[in-house]
Structure 1
Amino acid sequence: MPFDHNDHYHRLLLRKLPRHGRTALDVGCGTGRFARRLAARGYEVDAVDPSAEVIAAAERIGGGPRFRRADAASATLPRARYDVVTCLASLHHMPFRTVTRFRDALAPGGVLLVLGCYAGHTWWDLAAVPANAVARAGAAAGDRLRGSGPAVAGAPVRAPEMSLTAVRAEAARLLPGARVRQLLYWRYLLTYTLT
């Protein structure tokens, strides 16, 4: 896939980072693209993913984060450790209530950022279809001009089961004060700050 919907939102997520953050946990890190962006911003990054294949690929690429094979829904996470916890297109692979584990891993003033996928369609999604086609065509043209690089292991893919309405309801119940914003390309952004 020449256009990555999740990578498209990296800049938005980077703008939401806490100003004086130093420690980060990237959940479902895949091959580590966003974890490396956090490390480039000066964060000490722990990056976890349950797939041994993608963690091996992430370690081969390197770039600063500490990569570890772990399932964030069941692994022991340190309490009150991280200034930011990020989870890009991974929450739908685990029970939604796992967000409470992420909350508990936040240091006071820490920020949880979930770029999530939702099931079903809304009127907003109709705008994503032509935008998606244009973005993919542009990315494919750029790849042809640059030449394609070596194939990198891909993370397992699973369709989301929760609707955007259900995500909003569960976020309000489990993380009072959380905000859920619908984004283009069948994504949402959940932001929560631990006060």
Structure 2
Amino acid sequence: MPFDHNDHYHRLLLRRLPRHGLTALDVGCGTGRFARRVAALGYEVDAVDPSAEVIAVAEGIGQGPRFRQLDAADADLPKGHYDVITCLASLHHMPFGTVTRFRQALAPGGVLLVLGCYAGITWWDVAAVPANAVARAGVSVAERLRGVEPPPLRAPVRPPEMSLADVRREAARLLPGSSVRQLLFWRYLLTFRSPEN
């Protein structure tokens, strides 16, 4: 796929990182593209993914984050440790309640950023269809002209089961004070900031 919906939102997520943050956890890191961008900003990044094959590819691409094969839904995450936890198109691969584990792993004032996928169709999604076709065609042509090779491996894909309304309801229940914003290309952005205390 020449146009990656998740990569499209990297800049949006990077703008929401804490300015003076030091530690980050990227959950479901895949081959590590976003984790490397966070590390380039000076963060110490733990990048985790349950797929050994994906982690092997991520480690082979280059330095930066600490890559580990780990299922974040079952792992013992350090309490109150991370200034930011990111989760790009991977939360729907685990129980939504896993966000409470992420909340506990946030340092005071830390931020949880979930770029998530949802089930079902909204009117906003109908608008995404022509935009998606144009973006894919444009990126495909540009990559061919530049001679860009496709990535060596894509992370596993699983369809989401929760609707956007379900996500909003569960986020409000499990992460009081969080916000869920619908985005183009069948994505949402869930943002939660841990209390400073």
TM-score w.r.t. the length of structure 2 is: 0.98
1:21 aligns with 2:15: no
CA shift, 1:151, in A, is 3.9
Tell me the alpha carbon deviations over residues 34-82 of structure 1, each in whole angstroms, 9 at most, x when there is no partner. 0000000000000000001110000000230000000000011111110
Q: Aligned AA for 1:32?
A: G
Q: Aligned AA for 2:40?
A: A
TM-score w.r.t. the length of structure 1 is: 0.99
Q: CA RMSD in A?
A: 0.7
Identity among equivalent pairs (%): 79
1:121 aligns with 2:145: no
- In the alignment, the residues of structure 2 paired with residue 53 and residue 142 of structure 1 have an alpha-carbon distance, to the nearest angstrom, of 29
- In the alignment, the residues of structure 1 paired with residue 124 and residue 191 of structure 2 have an alpha-carbon distance, to the nearest angstrom, of 20
- In the alignment, the residues of structure 2 paired with residue 10 and residue 148 of structure 1 have an alpha-carbon distance, to the nearest angstrom, of 19
- In the alignment, the residues of structure 2 paired with residue 30 and residue 59 of structure 1 have an alpha-carbon distance, to the nearest angstrom, of 11
Tell me the secondary structure at the aligned position of residue 6 of structure 1: helix
- In the alignment, the residues of structure 1 paired with residue 75 and residue 85 of structure 2 have an alpha-carbon distance, to the nearest angstrom, of 15
CA shift, 1:141, in A, is 0.4
- In the alignment, the residues of structure 2 paired with residue 108 and residue 85 of structure 1 have an alpha-carbon distance, to the nearest angstrom, of 13
1:105 aligns with 2:109: no
Q: Give the match for residue 143 of structure 1.
A: 143
- In the alignment, the residues of structure 1 paired with residue 30 and residue 182 of structure 2 have an alpha-carbon distance, to the nearest angstrom, of 23
Tell me the secondary structure at the aligned position of residue 188 of structure 1: strand
Q: Give the match for residue 54 of structure 1.
A: 54
Unpaired segments ≥5 residues, structure 2: none
Q: Give the match for residue 184 of structure 1.
A: 184
- In the alignment, the residues of structure 2 paired with residue 146 and residue 56 of structure 1 have an alpha-carbon distance, to the nearest angstrom, of 27
Unpaired segments ≥5 residues, structure 1: none
- In the alignment, the residues of structure 1 paired with residue 152 and residue 35 of structure 2 have an alpha-carbon distance, to the nearest angstrom, of 16
- In the alignment, the residues of structure 2 paired with residue 14 and residue 144 of structure 1 have an alpha-carbon distance, to the nearest angstrom, of 27
Q: Aligned AA for 2:72?
A: A
- In the alignment, the residues of structure 1 paired with residue 152 and residue 103 of structure 2 have an alpha-carbon distance, to the nearest angstrom, of 31
- In the alignment, the residues of structure 2 paired with residue 119 and residue 79 of structure 1 have an alpha-carbon distance, to the nearest angstrom, of 31
- In the alignment, the residues of structure 2 paired with residue 51 and residue 27 of structure 1 have an alpha-carbon distance, to the nearest angstrom, of 12
Equivalent residues, number: 195
1:130 aligns with 2:130: yes
4+ residue runs of structure 1 moved beyond 4 angstroms? none
Tell me the secondary structure at the aligned position of residue 86 of structure 1: strand
Q: Give the match for residue 73 of structure 1.
A: 73
CA shift, 1:150, in A, is 5.5
User: Relative to 1, partners in 2 of residues 1:48 and 1:126: Cα closer, same or farther, differing over 3 Å?
Assistant: same
Q: Give the match for residue 42 of structure 2.
A: 42
- In the alignment, the residues of structure 1 paired with residue 123 and residue 51 of structure 2 have an alpha-carbon distance, to the nearest angstrom, of 34
Tell me the secondary structure at the aligned position of residue 158 of structure 2: coil
- In the alignment, the residues of structure 2 paired with residue 63 and residue 128 of structure 1 have an alpha-carbon distance, to the nearest angstrom, of 35
- In the alignment, the residues of structure 2 paired with residue 137 and residue 148 of structure 1 have an alpha-carbon distance, to the nearest angstrom, of 15
Tell me the secondary structure at the aligned position of residue 127 of structure 2: helix
